[in-house]
Amino acid sequence: MSIETTETSSTKLQGHQSNLKLLATVDELRQKNWQLTKWVDGHDILLYKYEGEVQAISNVCRHFGGPVGYHKARGGKFTCLWHNWEFSCKDGTCLTHPGLPLRQYELKINNNEIYINLEG
């Protein structure tokens, strides 16, 4: 999922798109070596940068709910901690069990702030 960069102020961004929630800052993501997990309004989110693009997918494995982003991504994929199902960093596709992708979330970056659409 691609991100959109906007020059709109964060106040305007929130005002026009109330479905967006502040997830993290670019600085915070950089400090975590471009991968972090965070809970927002009951959503367990895996935020990361892959091939120059900031993306967000569900951190909840489609198998039994294990933490997909517990380990750092390697070779373009995440490996779930519990039973090693693999998911593509490109789009959350399940590489070991096709047809069971992780949910992708829309992001918007405004200056240093990364917003997520939990409803999209």
Provide, rounded to whole angstroms, the least separation between the CB of residue 94 and ligand FES: 9
Looking at the Cβ atoms of 28 and 86, the one nearer to ligand FES is 86
Looking at the Cβ atoms of 30 and 74, the one nearer to ligand FES is 74
Distances (CA, A) of 78 to 12, 85, 90: 35, 8, 10
Looking at the Cβ atoms of 87 and 115, the one nearer to ligand FES is 87
> In this structure, what is the dihedral angle of CA atoms 58, 59, 64, 70, given to the nearest 10 degrees?
160
Distance CA(105)–CA(117), nearest Å, equals: 6
Residues near ligand FES, by CB under 6 A: 61, 63-66, 80, 82-85
Provide, rounded to whole angstroms, the least separation between the CB of residue 25 and ligand FES: 29
**CA 50, 51, 53, 57 torsion-angle sign:** negative
Provide, rounded to whole angstroms, the least separation between the CB of residue 61 and ligand FES: 3
